[in-house]
Structure 1
Amino acid sequence: MENLEKQLICPICLEMFTKPVVILPCQHNLCRKCANDVFQASNPYLPTRSGSLTSGGRFRCPSCRHEVVLDRHGVYGLQRNLLVENIIDMFKQESSSSKPAPERKEETPMCDVHEDEKINIYCVTHGVPTCSMCKVFGAHKDCEVAPISSIYQTKKTELSDGIAMMVGNNDRMQGIISQLEEACRAIEENGRRQKTLVCEKFDHLYSILEDKKRQMSQKVTAEQEEKVNYIRGLTRKYGDHLEESCKIVELGIQTMEDFPINMLFAPYALRIAEASSTAHLDKVERGYEDMDHYSVNFKKERKALRTIDFDEEDEDAEGGTEEGEGVQTVSGGAAVTATSSQPSAPQQISSSPSAAKSAAST
């Protein structure tokens, strides 16, 4: 029994474990009160409620120095060691049965004024117990008194009712605490879900902007390639005409040097006149190479993006609006407002080869 008692000693208070007994992750045991004291000493700045920690923290086991990490329930989140508690009960029963029961003596309180008189009545006027002599000859002779047994039963009933009320209040408080903890978990889960929905809406908005950017870039690229191809084709025509003119000039010079008389029979002047004329070739008018008509002004769109905020009304939005729609509503009350229409480009002047040809001067 002595060896068993040594195993049931708490390393903190050096007394036998007092229930409830908690078991640490390192398998060592502590009284929950002692564990709470160690926890408070290791975490002095954590908030407490009625002297007990309610938020997570950590401390080291006093037996093996193993670090114990607790959740938001603090020490009350540790598991009770019911086996050790049962062993303690069995040990106490065995110890009490092996020792002779002491004789219980009921001591009756005596009056302070009349030392030989027992206290057997209760002064209702002053609210104190007293003896019969005090009622007959003493300070309570004009007071209202009652039998002490009836007052005892009344006080006992009041105390029992008060304890029952406190127990009920504690149960209600525990229920409220459980509801508040559940509300916290629900808020966290709803917050994560709403943030995911907001991110999805913004990702969809990004994809719309990326598609619009690609479409507008393709439009600029298409006109750029059209104009570049037209200019290169026109450059080849002018090059061919220049090459033909050079050949005619060279042939004319050779004719004048070798066969002057042939100039009277060959229409060289007409051929030179035709070669000198560029009326049949297109000419590019001034500003044809400009691409300024594709300028974009996003002033309205920037203003709309800066006004994006959560909607006060609870409206569910369908996923993904078509191009040109102005409002997207995020589930849970977030509204995204943006105008997807773009400013119209200025009228294009001679932006195609056919227009350039029609505007060419002769």
Structure 2
Amino acid sequence: MSDSEEITEFGSIVERIERGEVPIKNIERELICPICKELFTHPLILPCQHSVCHKCVKELLLQNQDDSFGTDAGSECSNPGSPRSRVPSPSMERLDRLVRSGSVSSSPGWRRSSVTPRVTSFPCPGCQRDIELGERGISMLFRNFTLESIVERYRQAARAAVAIMCNVCKPPAVQEATKSCMDCKASYCNECFKLNHPWGTPRAQHEYVGPTTNFRPKVLMCPEHEMEKVNMYCEVCRRPVCHLCKLGGSHANHKVTSMSSAYKILKDKLSKSIHYLISKEEQVRTQISELEVLIRQTEENGQLAERQAHEHFERLFETLQERKTELLRSIELSRNRRLDKLRSQVEEYQGMLENSGLVGYAQEVLKETDQSCFVQTAKQLHIRVQKATESLRTFQPAANPSFDEFVLDTSKEESLLKDLSFGGVPDPPMIDLSQSRVYNEGLIHWRLPEDSLPTDHHVLEYRKVPAKDEEESQWHLTERVHGPSTVVCDLDSDCRYAFRVRSCRNTIHSAYSPDVSFHTPPAPVFGFLFNEKCGYSAERLRLSKRKDSVESMAGMAFLLAADRVQTGSYICLDYIIGDTGISHGRHYWAFSVEPSSYMVKVGVASDSKMSEWFHNPRDTSSPRYDHDSGHDSGSEDTCYELSQPFTLLTAGMGKLFIPKASHTAAAGDHGSRVLPLPQRIGICLDYEAGRVFFYDADSMRCLYERQVDCSGTMYPAFALMGGGAIHLEEFITAKRLSYM
């Protein structure tokens, strides 16, 4: 399609929209207020460009403060009805009464034209963005007259059979309106319009349109300057403004354009966007068809899942019912056996009573006078009586009334039922790089997706990343981890390790997280805290309670010190060192420097030189004197080497400054002395070799190395000037605190 054909088609589409040929009944969803879920009534445009009914905004504000006053007296841009009418509302009259009675202060903050609740903020129901209305409240919001007109056209289309009647005709001869006057804000039939707008009068010049119930002002007025017309558009706030807003109001420093230019640009953008959407109509219909298929599949699969879950629970109920029947039957059988035994024993003991049972029978036998007959019967009877007598002496119930052996412990089954869940594959976790740290031990953190189901445990795996021509090593598994992190011990120095983690739920494992690699430091971790006893200035430096952070305060003391500086001297540095020294071996520590720091120096210091240097009375070599002028003279290294106990690298203002005579380990860094400040800086001191190395602690790239005199005990050293802060790594301080 040629450019001219595209322009013609584009123009026809825009004309169709402007003429209203697009079916308005299909856009109802765009005309519903997100709060009341009804068609917009006097919609207001919020700063986030969403629209809300005027009454809904008032209700939102009143919800935040029950005893607040209404805001019925706003500007024409926000209040329904006549644009310039100021009809006192009940809330306004109530306020006047309170002011006259002294209940409310009549200070300048209370203005009759801008009475608002004290709480004027609420979340936008469309985007949840916090909306702050300011002192003028709802009066600061424009009415969305365009949306009002569309809503009115929609209502008319919905009730096409209902005509708009003349507002002047007397009943019962009311005629159907043919015109509506935008100045009189009334609808007229032909005869009434001629009578109320006679030729040769000012009313004849009124603007009229077709019959409508939506009357909006002919000119949009500024809500801040109510007598000024809106004639410019603020591109920063994305709202119309007047010339006073630009000259000295809240938009003085904002970029504004003319209203005609903004109209042309915005209309062109909207038209092109609509043209693009219309051109993609077939694609949209195809995607709608796909979505309808997905909806149908979702319904079917959901019903299938419900049936399967119902069947599973039915089987569980059947199994529970069977077990319930069996266990209750066994209890019943045992109970009956015990009752039979106890009842037999009762009958036996009842026979021992006088004139009953065994005793009564024995008494009758004793009445026998024939000796041979008596002996014949009494022998067996005597044995029975002896047994009864013995049972009296050793009374023992025939059955145990306790049913302890039939007590059920269902705690395990209840726990299993509570943990019953769908056996889907859990989502894989993601390793959190911002919280993970790897030294000679690795602290690995991970997180689950927000909508993932709970997991039983996690498994972390790690392996050493092989160098060239090396075979891949096997993955090592950690123990089951029930939290979001774990520690991996005994990692080799100066090696790269890969880590991955997966979740488990109901014996089903998720996929592995993407592999994440970390480079271990070239030496074991050295733990320390800041020490305020050597060179520490309490006036300019502030230590945290845990002594793991130090902050330089560029306050009055700094200004007074700068004022005392003589010509040719330099503003002082404030020094602080670690509380633990190094006298052998290789050690590594890491920290972060606030990007907004003015100047921070980091490195190492010798105790043998510090003792002499801090007590030297000369101003030029005192701890308040800095030999690094900041110029590229090349003499800084020599000056530090000869006169100071410190070997320091400079950082500040988001940059890292490499000395001119540096020999970096990384190729390609020789040509640039100014590098971006790393998020974390690492320092490695090789005491026996007498060298100190500075690293980017995240990538373990060596930024700078140099020779250092290790004649005594070496300490981590820091110096600050102006505002700035240094934070030691938690792994460094935790290692130190574990020994305290």
State the TM-score bracket (shorter-chain normalisation): 0.3 to 0.5
Name the structure with the higher strand share: 2
Alignment TM-score, normalising by the size of structure 2: 0.20
Alignment TM-score, normalising by the size of structure 1: 0.38
> Which has the bigger relative contact order, CA under 8 A and spacing at least 6?
1
Q: Which has the larger radius of gyration?
A: 1
